[in-house]
């Protein structure tokens, strides 16, 4: 990239010239959030992807999110700034292994968290996100056995919350499992008035001490409505940018990871940069392409989710 380029201005120009929309996840770096047309969590982003009339969707997030956009809008070109932006949680459920697991429990309905590959979606009955998971689970008759995949922490949290006994796939997110209960407790002693707010992908021991648990969007909304002045935020650090912009007088402290070398930035999300965003818009690649049969099979459970959470 020519260092003299004003990337912010260039991205705005390319958006207009190409009728492109930039969708960014809350975990993207602040510069990317600032140029986005829409910033959201996976539910909000998939709803935007389903309804936009842009010709090109530039998806600043990870692969499964851009893939979901392509599943919903196949006639549109979907670009991802870095094709290597994957997801440790999605990778923890390889479709072939999951198929075998599912075959052992043929009477179970499969509810999968949207953080999974198209292959897992195609094997699922309904998709959910952390924003709508309770509603989705409650839409299923009480006597219907459920498999929940791929996140065991979110699954355990939801099982407790809804009183459903769900069979859990043993997957997890590397970022949300990195938090240290001990370090959060010590931080809380130094900031006694701070509220601990956590994402349900965190381990149960961390969720047990949280003052509020919610999806990315729910945490952001809580930070606006709640009257506390300080918060210990137990999720990916990217969300602090919007929290701080919405609440300039409040303090947001990222929860500490369990060791000094670890970090609560998602390494996959952070592969995207403003430079790569610009380059992918200029050259229209990398592009998400999909096998049409897989796309149709993966679309069904997403549509069920969008209907239930409309
Ligand atoms: O951990 C993630 O990737 C989350 C929380 C995604 C989302 O927006 O639900
Ligand atoms: Fe995947 Fe975790 Fe990164 Fe989200 S934060 S994209 S679940 S690895």
CB 136, CB 309: distance < 8 Å = yes
Kindly give the number of the ligand 1 atom that is closest to the alpha carbon of 26.
8
Question: Which pLDDT score, from 0 to 100, does residue 187 have?
Answer: 95
- Say what the ipTM of the complex is: 0.96
**Identical fold, 7-86+269-289 and 89-173+297-308:** yes
CA–CA distance from 29 to each of 36, 226, 260 (Å)? Answer: 11, 25, 21
- Rg of the chain in Å (alpha carbons): 19
Angle at 168 between CA 137 and CA 153, to 5 degrees: 85
Fill in the DSSP letter of residue 304: H
How far, in Å, from the CA of 225 to the mean position of ligand 1?
21
Question: Which pLDDT score, from 0 to 100, does residue 258 have?
Answer: 84
Strand 38-40, strand 77-79: pairing: unpaired
Q: What ranges do the domains of the chain cover?
A: 7-86+269-289, 89-173+297-308, 181-254
Residues of the chain scoring pLDDT < 70: 1
Distance CA 117, CA 148 (A): 15
Question: Which pLDDT score, from 0 to 100, does residue 36 have?
Answer: 98
**What is the largest distance, in Å, between two alpha-carbon atoms of the chain?**
63
Kindly give the number of the ligand 2 atom that is closest to the alpha carbon of 62.
6
Kindly give the number of the ligand 2 atom that is closest to the alpha carbon of 64.
6
CATH code: domain 7-86+269-289 is 3.40.50.10800
- Binding-site annotation: residue ranges for iminosuccinate: 25, 42, 113-115, 130, 199-201, 216
Tokens of 165: 């006994």
Kindly give the number of the ligand 2 atom that is closest to the alpha carbon of 90.
1
pTM of the model: 0.94
How far, in Å, from the CA of 143 to the mean position of ligand 2?
32
Distance CA 255, CA 234 (A): 5
Best probe residue, ligand 1, of 25, 91, 234 (max atoms within 8 Å of C-beta): 25
CATH class of segment(s) 89-173+297-308: alpha beta
- Please tell me if the CB atom of residue 33 comes closer than 6 angstroms to any atom of ligand 1: no
CB 59, CB 65: distance < 8 Å = yes
How far, in Å, from the CA of 2 to the mean position of ligand 2?
31
Question: Which pLDDT score, from 0 to 100, does residue 257 have?
Answer: 87
How far, in Å, from the CA of 267 to the mean position of ligand 2?
8
Nearest CA to ligand 1 atom 5: 216
- Please tell me if the CB atom of residue 42 comes closer than 6 angstroms to any atom of ligand 1: yes
Nearest CA to ligand 2 atom 6: 87
How far, in Å, from the CA of 171 to the mean position of ligand 2?
12
Question: Which pLDDT score, from 0 to 100, does residue 95 have?
Answer: 98
Task: Tell the CATH topology of 181-254.
Answer: Rossmann fold (3.40.50)
3-class DSSP state of 164: coil
Question: Which pLDDT score, from 0 to 100, does residue 303 have?
Answer: 94
Question: Which pLDDT score, from 0 to 100, does residue 297 have?
Answer: 98
CA–CA distance from 268 to each of 142, 148, 173, 210 (Å)? Answer: 37, 24, 11, 26
- Please tell me if the CB atom of residue 173 comes closer than 6 angstroms to any atom of ligand 1: yes
Question: Which pLDDT score, from 0 to 100, does residue 66 have?
Answer: 97
How far, in Å, from the CA of 212 to the mean position of ligand 2?
20
Angle at 159 between CA 166 and CA 121, to 5 degrees: 55
pLDDT in tens, 215-259: 999 999 999 999 999 999 999 999 999 999 999 999 999 999 887
How far separated are the first and last CA of the chain, in Å rounded?
41
pLDDT in tens, 8-44: 999 999 999 999 999 999 999 999 999 999 999 988 9
| CB-based pocket (< 6 A), ligand 2 | 62, 87-89, 115, 173-175, 236, 266, 268-269
- Binding-site annotation: residue ranges for [4Fe-4S] cluster: 87, 173, 266
- Binding-site annotation: residue ranges: 25, 42, 87, 113-115, 130, 173, 199-201, 216, 266
């Amino acid at each position: 990239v020519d260092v003299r380029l004003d990337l912010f201005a260039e991205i705005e120009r390319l958006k207009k010239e190409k009728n492109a929309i930039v969708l960014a996840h809350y975990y993207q770096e602040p510069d990317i959030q600032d140029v986005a047309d829409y910033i959201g969590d996976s539910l909000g982003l998939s709803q935007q992807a389903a309804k936009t009339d842009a010709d090109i969707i530039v998806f600043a997030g990870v692969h499964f999110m851009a893939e979901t956009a392509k599943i919903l809008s196949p006639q549109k070109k979907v670009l991802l700034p870095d094709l290597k932006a994957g997801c440790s949680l999605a990778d923890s459920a390889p479709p072939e292994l999951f198929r075998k697991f599912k075959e052992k429990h043929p009477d179970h309905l499969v509810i999968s968290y949207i953080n999974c590959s198209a292959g897992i979606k195609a094997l699922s009955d309904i998709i959910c996100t952390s924003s709508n998971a309770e509603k989705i689970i409650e839409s299923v008759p009480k006597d219907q056995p459920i498999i929940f995949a791929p996140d065991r922490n979110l699954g355990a949290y939801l099982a407790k919350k809804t009183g459903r006994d769900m069979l859990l796939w043993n997957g997890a997110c590397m970022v949300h499992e990195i938090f240290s209960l001990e370090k959060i407790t010590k931080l809380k002693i130094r900031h006694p008035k701070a509220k601990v707010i956590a994402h349900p992908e965190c381990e149960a021991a961390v969720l047990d001490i949280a003052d509020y648990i919610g999806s990315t969007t729910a945490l952001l909304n809580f930070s606006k409505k709640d009257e506390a002045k300080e918060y210990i935020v137990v999720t990916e650090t990217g969300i602090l940018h919007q929290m701080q912009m919405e609440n300039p007088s409040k303090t947001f402290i990222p929860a500490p990871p369990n060791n000094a070398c670890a970090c609560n930035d998602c390494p996959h999300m952070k592969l995207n940069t403003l430079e790569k965003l610009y380059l992918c818009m200029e050259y229209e690649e990398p592009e998400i392409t999909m096998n049409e049969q897989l796309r149709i099979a993966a679309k069904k459970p997403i549509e069920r989710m969008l209907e239930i959470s409309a």
